[in-house]
Structure 1
């Protein structure tokens, strides 16, 4: 079992079938999904059910699974997600936030908590991520948390049906510790 992670304003927790309505509502917004690689648009209730089944099974596979997803709650309401991929190799982190919650620093707080969990729970020494170049908010989260740019790539956007330019970044355990103690 993966215990919830608590911050000053947020709780990062394992997904539940009770989250279906919130997921479908937030991921039905093209402004959110156009910045994500794996999420289709339009986003249906069936897409939400399949997603929930996938992420709910991840906890059962922990610590041997490849992926783990935390849902982010604020004041008892699910507002987004932070997830890790490639946990048996060099992990990648990703995240999304419902549009109604943008601009409040929630994702910086949630990602920092998830990174702290990763570096304190696993032996991983670094984590990578990528963000679409036209997503300055996501790039700012990464910069604030100490990620360093290592290059550019092309990433798929299912919602757009095309590949878009992205910035690739990495964060070392030591780099995160330096930022976390400031």
Structure 2
């Protein structure tokens, strides 16, 4: 992983992780206005409109500068094509952060989330000095759990029927990893 503090870009094998730009809003809207992404996301509205994307992107720079959260666009290193997003929240009171990600459905199965998550873990520990990173997923989305396992996270527990989404109670499964 190569991190540029000035550019706020992480360069990895096939990808650049960079801050979102307002010009990304149409593609973010296209990718996120997808029921299969919505049903696996805790806070995502559906349908998803360009205004939602603009509101979401608006505070990314300030949040990054204030170290509240680090929201990166996952992009192709050669073409710049946007595949999804990965975020690391800052729980500075506890010296840890929460990892969250989404990939546009047409790009599922290519390893982009895994590659990005590995880089953000390294960013969390090497650049930001976190002690722990955790992540969570709905029990109905085991693919997300497989990503967490691939990057070395360990299952820490399940909160039974913890979230109600679309009139269904869903288990939240938590994973974590300590600085090594």
Decide: shared fold, TM above 0.5: yes
- Alpha carbon RMSD of aligned pairs, Å? 1.6
- For residues 97-116 of structure 1, the aligned pairs below 5 Å read 97-116=103-122
3-state SS of paired residue (1:164): strand
| Structure 1 residue 60: Cα displacement | 2.9
**Distance of 2:10 and 2:115 partners within structure 1:** 11
Bigger relative contact order (CA 8 A; separation at least 6):
1
| Structure 1 residue 57: Cα displacement | 2.5
**Contact between 1:14 and 1:70, CA under 8 Å: does it hold in 2?**
yes
How many residues align structurally?
Answer: 169
| Structure 1 residue 106: Cα displacement | 0.8
1:37 corresponding residue in structure 2? 42
Deviations 1:111-151 (A, max 9, x none): 00111111111221111110111111110000111111111
Distance 1:107 1:141, change over 3 A: same
Deviations 1:26-79 (A, max 9, x none): 110011111111111111111111101122322332xxx321101100131111
Q: 1:48 aligns with which of 42, 45, 53?
A: 53
3-state SS of paired residue (1:91): strand
Distance 1:76 1:91, change over 3 A: same
**Contact between 1:37 and 1:156, CA under 8 Å: does it hold in 2?**
no
1:147 corresponding residue in structure 2? 153
Distance 1:32 1:138, change over 3 A: same
1:77 corresponding residue in structure 2? 81
The unaligned stretches of length 5 or more in structure 2 are: 1-5
Q: TM-score, normalised by structure 1?
A: 0.86
**Distance of 2:103 and 2:129 partners within structure 1:** 28
3-state SS of paired residue (1:39): coil
The unaligned stretches of length 5 or more in structure 1 are: 175-182
| Structure 1 residue 3: Cα displacement | 2.5
1:178 corresponding residue in structure 2? none
Structure with greater strand share of residues = 2
2:3 corresponding residue in structure 1? none
Could you list the structure 1 runs, at least 4 aligned residues long, displaced by more than 6 angstroms after superposition.
none
Q: TM-score, normalised by structure 2?
A: 0.87
